[in-house]
Amino acid sequence: MTPIAMDTGALVRGLYCILPEMVVIGTAILVLLADLLLPEEGKKRLCHLSVAGVAAAILSALWLGPGKIEGFSGMIVHDGMGLFFTLTILAAALLTLMMATGYSEWEGTQKGEFYALILLSTSGMLFMAEGTDLMTVFLGLETLSIPIYCLVGFHRGRMRSLEGAMKYFLLGAFSSGFFLYGIALMYAAAGTTRIPVIASMMRDARLYGNPVFLAGIGLLLVGFAFKVSLVPFHMWTPDAYEGAPTLVTAFMGAAVKAAAFAALLRVVLLTFPAILPAMSGVLWVLAALTMTVGNFSALLQNNMKRMLAYSSIAHAGYILVGLTAGGVAGGQAVLFYVLVYAFMNLGAFGVIMLVAQREDDGYDIDNFAGIGFRYPVLGGLLSLFLVSLAGIPPTAGFVGKFYLFGAAVRSGYVGLAVLGVLNSAVSVYYYLRPVVSMYMAPAPEGIPVPRPPRSAFSFALCASAAAVLLLGVMPASALEFAERSVLSLLM
């Protein structure tokens, strides 16, 4: 690598480019410091501080705008796509932290490190989404993963939580190994880790057919596959999702997935056109397997968290359909879907957090019996999120799938699209099971009394619901933003 010249202008520009990341990290440090100073009963201020920090980060990202800003001699770039994912991730983090206002009180996560870990992980995600160098992507990946390992095991006293964290950590460490080894091989073949440079080398076929390079990109793909839990690299997902504190589960589904797909999309869109014939087959099989295994496993679950864990695997499969299709249409569909998925997934988990209180059987689908009519707002919200996850109009989930499968049909992958819609039909069965339980099953004697949500919690739920409906009925501007973002990357 060329030595980085330390001129002040470049440094300032670099820091300017990572303004949102710096705000998030600064907030994390502030939270840790404040944790030392605040008395026990004032700890809820930590949550407010975190929310304010993330909100400031969103404002700073908007202030940077969609124009392309390169920093640190091209190690990181803030472009349209970076902005789109930054906003998605920060929105997910904001909603998560708003829900934390109530959740931390009930579950005893009212601790400085809880919020600091969420914020640090968020900063890792942002680096990952904006990294244009494989090393930046890797550093982002680690920065996001390590706090998440801790968060999954945050309930130190609970076996499930520890088991999930252990599995996730071991497999995650392996996947990081794959990832890094892949980068090393690619560097050996190409002599650089800059994604755009590698892409341009591939375009004039200097790397095409180099077995070392292909092995490298294969290993890199395995690393990504672990993070977004593609079948057959998904084994950790159900246990980690079930064991983690529910709030962390929601955050993982929404934000970690978005960050990993952001980096994957950058790599795939830039480099794959050159080696598409070889790679599209692999992606096709991965997408088909992931959708099918995810959905059919979800059919068998009785625990809401586990069911949504498998459903998140299935959704990774749907998103991969868009990646397989590639091009502007595919990229745009992926961007839009990642955004939509963040809202519907967080929303669904939010309602579950309010209803399910006992750790052992609180999350059983049967435990939701009778909720629907007794608590109409909660029932209605959960139904809305589940209907959107199933991809039924007029919700955002439908528009998202329409564009994912549309991109597949457009690129000639009609078979994959057919498989995708059939999978959606299968998924309807398990998404409707909680609805059946809430509204149709005979209500038991003691319907669980949901926790009264804090106002920030209610706001987060309503905002998610509004987003799901709004993106379902008026998707035009979000779709155009997604398209412009992809174009900014490809230009």
Does residue 439 bind another protein (CB under 8 A)? yes
Listed ranges 121-129, 190-198, 250-258, 408-416: which one lies at the site for another protein (CB under 8 A)? 408-416
| Residues from 347 through 376 that contact another protein (CB under 8 A) | 373, 376
In this structure, the number of other CB atoms found within 10 A of the CB of residue 77 comes to 23
Question: In this complex, which beta carbon is closest to another protein, that of residue 127 or of residue 398?
Answer: 398
By CB under 8 A, name the one of 11, 212, 215, 436 that touches another protein: 436
Does residue 32 bind another protein (CB under 8 A)? no
Q: How many residues bind another protein (CB under 8 A)?
A: 31
DSSP three-state, residue 131 = strand
By CB under 8 A, name the one of 226, 284, 405, 481 that touches another protein: 405
Please state, in angstroms and as integers, the Cα–Cα distance from residue 483 to each residue in 261, 334, 396, 479, following that order: 16, 10, 17, 6
CB 400, CB 347: distance < 8 Å: no
Determine whether 16 is exposed, middle or buried from the number of CB atoms within 10 Å of its CB (0-12, 13-18, 19+).
middle
Question: In this complex, which beta carbon is closest to another protein, that of residue 361 or of residue 480?
Answer: 480
Listed ranges 25-33, 46-54, 206-214, 387-395: which one lies at the site for another protein (CB under 8 A)? 387-395
By CB under 8 A, name the one of 29, 170, 173, 422 that touches another protein: 422
Does residue 330 bind another protein (CB under 8 A)? no
| DSSP calls for 21-81 | HHHHHHHHHHHHHHHHHS-GGGTHHHHHHHHHHHHHHHHHHHHH-SS-EEETTTTEEE-HH
By CB under 8 A, name the one of 359, 361, 366, 480 that touches another protein: 480
The DSSP call for residue 260 is: H
Measured from the CB of residue 394, what is the shortest distance to another protein in angstroms?
A: 6
351 closest CA partner among 316, 309, 304 = 304
Question: In this complex, which beta carbon is closest to another protein, that of residue 422 or of residue 462?
Answer: 422
325 closest CA partner among 261, 400, 417 = 417
By CB under 8 A, name the one of 22, 275, 428, 447 that touches another protein: 428
CB 426, CB 295: distance < 8 Å: yes
* Cα-Cα-Cα-Cα dihedral sign, residues 319, 321, 327, 329: negative
Which structure tokens are listed for 63? 């202030």
CB 47, CB 101: distance < 8 Å: yes
Listed ranges 123-131, 176-184, 246-254, 420-428: which one lies at the site for another protein (CB under 8 A)? 420-428
Listed ranges 98-106, 177-185, 199-207, 427-435: which one lies at the site for another protein (CB under 8 A)? 427-435
Does residue 425 bind another protein (CB under 8 A)? yes
Q: Which residue has the tokens 């299968």?
A: 426
The DSSP call for residue 194 is: B
Which structure tokens are listed for 106? 């009930």
Bond prior to 394 in cis (omega within 30° of 0): yes
Which structure tokens are listed for 388? 């959107």
Measured from the CB of residue 73, what is the shortest distance to another protein in angstroms?
A: 36
By CB under 8 A, name the one of 4, 188, 205, 421 that touches another protein: 421
Does residue 410 bind another protein (CB under 8 A)? yes
Does residue 393 bind another protein (CB under 8 A)? yes
By CB under 8 A, name the one of 6, 36, 159, 476 that touches another protein: 476
Question: In this complex, which beta carbon is closest to another protein, that of residue 188 or of residue 299?
Answer: 299
Residues that bind another protein (CB under 8 A): 373, 376, 387, 392-394, 398, 402, 405-406, 409-410, 414, 417-418, 421-422, 424-425, 428-429, 432, 436, 439-441, 475-476, 479-480, 483
